[in-house]
Copies of this chain bind each other. A is one copy, B any other.
Amino acid sequence: MHANVKQNVVPLITPGLKVACSQCNLRELCLPFGLDDHDMARLDNLIGGGRKVKRGHHLYRAGDAFESIFAVRSGFFKTDVLTEDGRDQVTGFQMAGEILGMDGISTEHHTCNAVALEDSEVCLIPFTELELLSSEIHSLQHHLHKVMSREIVRDHGVMMLLGTMRAEERLAAFLLNLSQRFAARGYSHSEFHLRMTREEIGSYLGLKLETVSRAFSRFQEEGLISVQQKHVRILDLPKLKGLLAPPDGRIA
């Protein structure tokens, strides 16, 4: 079933791509967060270099042996899981500064697929060596734990979304989440380009692509956003946030 594992993965490590963490403008979002110069240099030293992943190609596939986690340097990824019966579920979208691949630690094999949604670059962080270093640098160890914990908390948020929200609430939550993450990276919080298709959004949100499309159209009719294909502009942030409150609007 996984005979073709890795076929699409660019196997080359391209040291020329390597950018020192200390020079990286994502260091405040990424793994080096909180390290002093000395420790950051040690982390730099173990990071194996960069890897380019072209749009549509896999960074890793479910079943691949787990060796490294990855930090997104640039670009955009999705992760998805699929069952033997062919259903698949997008479990997340990752942008610059975010960490990919932690699903693989538990079984020594990746349990989901990571696919680049645009031409992207990642830093490759060999996990065994990261553990070794993190046992020497306490703040690195703690930050790694925080990153993993954050992933768990994020997943709980998605479970809440999938378990309790209606279609328009889900899409509003999704847009607000993207907006906030773009803003954290210095991009506009009100205007951005969706890297994923309606179908991928729908898979992530537990909706069909038509429902996503209709919700976009409805938001536009109501003046909350303007949307043209993959270009989105948020016009009325407060009202969009208001969609997350339930109709009865009870006081907590």
Tell me if A153 is interfacial: C-beta within 8 Å of chain B: yes
Q: Which single member of B83, B104, B152, B246 contacts A85 (CB below 8 Å)?
A: B246
Tell me if A158 is interfacial: C-beta within 8 Å of chain B: yes
In Å, the complex CA distance between A111 and B154 comes to 10
- Whether B156 and A148, one on each chain, are in contact in the complex, defined by CB atoms closer than 8 angstroms, is no
Q: What is the total number of copies of this protein in its complex?
A: 2
Q: How far is the CB of A91 from chain B (nearest CB, A)?
A: 5
CB-CB under 8 A for A87 and B203, given A106-B146, A106-B153? no
User: Per-position contact with B for A153-180: 1 when CB-CB < 8 Å, else 0?
Assistant: 1011111101111000000000000000
Specify which chain B residues have a CB less than 8 angstroms from the CB of A111 in the assembled complex. Answer: 153, 156
Q: Which of A21-29, A129-137, A183-191 contacts B (4 or more CB under 8 A)?
A: A129-137
| Chain B residue nearest to A206 in the complex (CB) | B163
| Chain B residue nearest to A207 in the complex (CB) | B163
In Å, the complex CA distance between A250 and B103 comes to 27
22 sample A-B contacts, Cβ–Cβ < 8 Å, listed by A number: A83-B244, A85-B246, A85-B252, A86-B250, A89-B156, A89-B164, A91-B159, A102-B152, A105-B146, A106-B146, A106-B147, A106-B152, A107-B153, A111-B156, A131-B138, A131-B145, A135-B138, A151-B152, A159-B159, A162-B163, A163-B204, A164-B206
User: Assuming A148-B148, A162-B206, what are 19 further A-B pairs, CB within 8 angstroms?
Assistant: A83-B164, A84-B252, A85-B245, A85-B250, A85-B252, A87-B246, A89-B156, A89-B160, A91-B159, A103-B152, A103-B153, A105-B146, A131-B138, A132-B138, A141-B141, A145-B148, A148-B149, A162-B162, A164-B206
